[in-house]
Amino acid sequence: MTKSWILSFVSAGLVVLSVPAMGAVAAKCCVPGKPTAASYTWNFKGEANAIFKNVQNDAVLARSHADQLQAENRFDQIDWQVQEVQLQALKHDIDQMGAGLCRLEVIHTALAPWQQREVRRIANVLPLMADNTTDAINFMNAHQDELWLPAYQRYSQNLYAESSRLAHSSREAVAYAHVSRKYRNLQRELAPSAS
């Protein structure tokens, strides 16, 4: 496990920073590529809906890992190694959602207004999750025998609340996309045919 890990967002797009123990910084920026012929006919709204589904799945996994963190924290003896496994799983879930958010931010202007609102919701919650995971990992590394302290407990509570909020929001977006698609299909089926 690296000593620290940070997922932060900047106005230019998503930047993932990995800060190893030695202090070197490696960064990946999410920037749009050059348009291709396929770019003009690509179904960006459909792609966004698929990403929302992936975010929903990852948020549900993250909520499960955060729930496990909290469940373990209820015992008198908290095993830091069990906590480390859950935090690494949370980090992975957040990285997955961050990759989806990166793509959503690139195609943001081609999306429907309701999809743009969902992208903003994801962009608001994901950095909080990343910060809480980073703080929990740093705390755990420094205080392996003191994970019962309220500060550490707060990180796991925040992670559960944030992942729950993201799972709910993305579930609603997926449901809305499904209903909208059904509505459009029904409109086509029921529309009078031109004779």
More confident residue, 162 or 26: 162
**Position 35 confidence tier, pLDDT thresholds 50, 70, 90:** low
pLDDT at 49: 93
What the chain holds in terms of domains, given with CATH numbers, is: 43-181 (1.20.120)
pLDDT at 24: 27
pLDDT at 99: 93
51 within 8 A of 114, measured Cβ to Cβ:
no
In order, the DSSP letters of 80-145 are HHHHHHHHHHHHHHHHHHHHHHHHHHHSGGGS-HHHHHHHHHHHHHHHHHHHHHHHHHHHHHH-TT
pLDDT at 119: 94
More confident residue, 69 or 163: 163
- Residue 7 pLDDT > 60, yes or no? no
Mean pLDDT for 39-55 is: 86
- Residue 120 pLDDT > 90, yes or no? yes
| pTM score above 0.85 | no
Q: Tokens 């977006």 correspond to what residue? A: 173
Q: Which amino acid is at 14?
A: L
More confident residue, 168 or 37: 168
- Residue 193 pLDDT > 60, yes or no? yes
3-state helix, strand, coil in the chain (%, to 5): 70, 10, 20
